[in-house]
Amino acid sequence: AITEFEINPFAFTGNGSLVALDGYAVFDRKRKIPADLSVKPAASLEGFFRPSGIAVIGVSTKDGMHPGNIIAENLLQLGRSDVYCVNPKGGKAALEGRDLDLFASLQAIPSPVSLAVVTVPAAYVLDVVRDCAEAGVGAVLLIPGGFGEIDENRDLEEDILKIAGEKGIRVMGPNCLGVFLAEAGNEAGLNTFFIPEEKFRVALDREKNVAIFTQSGAMGIMEIYNLKNAISPRVVVSYGNQLDIDPSDLVNYFNEDPSVAVMGLYIEGFKPSAGRRFFNITSQSRKPVIVYKAGRTEEGKRAAQSHTASIAGEYEVAKAAMKQAGLIVAESMIDHGDFVKTFAMLHDFRADGNRVAVIANAGYEKTYAADNLGSLVLADLDENTKNELRKLLPPFVGVDTLLDLTPMVSDEVYDRCIDLMLSSDRVDALCVSIVPQAQVLHTTDEEISLDKDNVAVRIVNTVKKHKKPVVVSVNVVYGADALYNKFGQVLDSGGVPTFLTAERAMVCLNAFIRYKLNKERRLLSEMLK
């Protein structure tokens, strides 16, 4: 098998052909790389997301902070009655305020088990997988590390895969946190993250339409908390070393789940041949897939290899492939979180074109927005809209697509200007930038509480009325100044993506509209074939 391959540089011949001037390849005669680009049936993942019977293997009789104990506690706190704890020595464990029996084996559990959550050290995992095969368990989640990221344990991975393949078992992990799945309707939730409940509280009162798939468990946790003011996750999957289940499987599965509108991925690298399969699957996704690809430098590649045993590859090659597949590429983790937020909150908004208008109450904000148009263009306002705006504004305010209202307009006038802009058939989208310290606007926490018709509430209602993409920038960080916390929260919780700067707002609006328009072009192209 070829494990590394690079050609650099190329040169052009007189007739335009490419000629390789230099290159190298690394071969591994013992290693076989599968050429199969197919993905296993989505139904094979049901045990991880809709299990009936969960065995937590490795629960301790003494250590309440053992990962197995924390996972069992988290599952029981969700009200699940199908959780069984396994320890070969038997005994009892104090969980959820009572002593629960520990089963000595999977076979001793009185009810069928579809998911085994394995928390024993790597040295014991192979025996546990054999037990799972004998017990007919179809989904195995391997929490511990110490596998492919350590050279001497790579054979252990092969042995696990051999058994899993023979018995039709799907394996997630190893070296992962597993699955966090929010409750939905009559469907029970799931939480295998070995973090105590008091340190991991997720607000589930927001719209839950986002799926996060990540090789790094910590990244998944960070994303949940970064999004907490705006949206809640439907599912977060930390898949670790991708011994079996990889991003292709997850995208394929949740592409069919109507509760998920947006998928966000953090990828360090791919297993051999898995990259082609990933691009093949994601190019067919009907939902936006947002990707941050780590391992961009030589140091980053080495870190990825030692972290999740991933082959990072050349970033520019991966980036080109991602864009060709129609993925939304995040250049930073800030981009990733902001894109996920924007696409989740605007997922059912239309994008008729790329003509944008900007409304601000400070001159520098409209300039900042204009400097970050990207592929957007400034709308050309019709005379009727301009005249209606002039009736609302002082004579010294210049009426244009980049509209600086100055700090002197009221909540009502600010909202009326937004309404007029969105009413114009020449405006496809709008960026609203607000400096909340403006004298006249009701933006402090106290003013928001007293005035139920404040500018934030008005904006939320106006955006819902028009269903055109609108983003807002508010120059105050949540928590940095307690005066204005509620202002941004009202906008975010009302479904209007809100950011710290006009730059962030415009970058996200640009990504959203570009994706929507490209998707429409692709659909039209397919229809005409």
Q: What is the 3-state secondary structure (H, E, C) of 474-520?
A: ECCCCCCCHHHHHHHHHHHHCCCCEECCHHHHHHHHHHHHHHHHHHH
For residue 219, the tally of other CB atoms under 10 A from its CB is 20
pLDDT of residue 417: 98
Short-list 161, 123, 156, CA closest to 140? 161
pLDDT at 306: 56
CATH of 349-520, one of 3.40.50.261, 3.40.1410.10, 3.40.50.2300, 2.40.50.100: 3.40.50.261
Which pLDDT score is estimated for 310? 55
pLDDT of residue 26: 80
Q: So where are the chain's domains?
A: 42-344, 349-520
Length of the chain: 529
The average pLDDT across 53-70 equals 97
> Which of 224-233, 302-311, 338-347, 519-528 bottoms out in mean pLDDT, i.e. has the lowest?
302-311
CATH 3.40.50.261 fits 42-344, yes or no: yes
Q: Which of 179, 183, 242, 245 is nearest to 212 (CA)?
A: 179
**190-191 β-sheet, strand order:** 190-191, 178-181, 232-238, 208-214, 262-267, 289-293, 328-329
Q: What whole-number distance in Å separates Cα of residue 148 and Cα of residue 145?
A: 9
Res. 17 pLDDT band, cuts 50 70 90: confident
Of the candidate ranges 30-34, 76-80, 380-384, 427-431, the one whose mean pLDDT is the lowest: 30-34
pLDDT-derived band at 200, boundaries 50, 70, 90: confident
Provide the pLDDT confidence category of residue 214 given band limits of 50, 70 and 90.
very high
pLDDT of 35 > 60? The answer is no
Neighbours of 341 (CB within 10 A): 24
Residue 48 has pLDDT above 70, yes or no: yes
The predicted model gives 201-226 an average pLDDT of 87
If you average pLDDT over residues 499-524, what whole number do you get? 92
What is the pLDDT averaged over residues 218-238? 90
How does residue 3 score in pLDDT terms, banded at 50, 70 and 90?
low
DSSP symbol at 529: -
Is 90 exceeded by the pLDDT of residue 302?
A: no
- 157 or 7: which leads in pLDDT: 157
Structure tokens at 298: 């030589």
Per-residue model confidence as pLDDT tens digits over 234-244: 999 999 999 99
Q: How far apart are CA 498 and CA 460, in angstroms?
A: 11
| The predicted structure's pLDDT at residue 23 | 79
Q: What is residue 525's predicted lDDT score, i.e. its pLDDT?
A: 74
Confidence band, pLDDT 50/70/90 cuts, at residue 185: confident
Query: What is the mean pLDDT of the segment spanning 246-250?
Result: 97
Report the distance separating Cα 358 and Cα 391, nearest Å: 19
Which tokens hold the place of 177? 């946190």
> What's the average model confidence in pLDDT over 105-120?
98
Domains 42-344 and 349-520 share a fold: yes
Query: Average pLDDT in the 260-270 region?
Result: 96
The answer to whether the CB of 163 falls within 8 A of the CB of 169 is yes
Structure confidence at residue 36 (pLDDT): 60
- What percent of the chain stands above pLDDT 70? 92
- pLDDT of residue 460 exceeding 90, the answer is yes
Q: pTM here?
A: 0.89
**23 or 43, which is more confident:** 43
From residue 529, alpha-carbon distances to 515, 522, 523, 524, 525 in Å are 21, 11, 10, 9, 6
Q: What is the pLDDT of residue 308?
A: 53
Among 302-316, 378-392, 475-489, 499-513, name the one with the lowest average pLDDT: 302-316
Inform me whether the pLDDT recorded for 19 exceeds 60. yes
The tokens of 481 are what? 């100044």
Please give the pLDDT value at position 1: 64
Asked whether residue 457 carries a pLDDT value surpassing 90, the answer given is yes
Helices (H), 136-188: 154-167
Q: Are strands 190-191 and 178-181 parallel, antiparallel or unpaired?
A: antiparallel
Selection from 303, 310, 306, 239 nearest residue 274 by Cα: 310
Burial class of residue 332 in the structure, from the number of CB atoms within 10 Å of its CB (0-12 exposed, 13-18 middle, 19+ buried): exposed
Tell me the pLDDT of the chain averaged across its residues: 91
Residue 112's closest CA among 93, 92, 138, 90? 138
Per-residue three-class SS string for 291-303: EEECCCCHHHHHH
Q: What is the pLDDT of residue 202?
A: 77
- 86-91-97 Cα angle (round to 5): 85
* Cβ-based neighbours of 417, under 8 Å, separated by 6 or more: 359, 389, 392, 393, 403, 405, 409
Q: Please compute the mean of the pLDDT values over residues 31-38 and round it to a whole number.
A: 62
Whether the pLDDT of residue 197 is over 60: the answer is yes
Q: How confident is the model at residue 149 (pLDDT cuts 50, 70, 90)?
A: low
- The number of helix segments (H) and strand segments (E) in the chain equals 17, 24
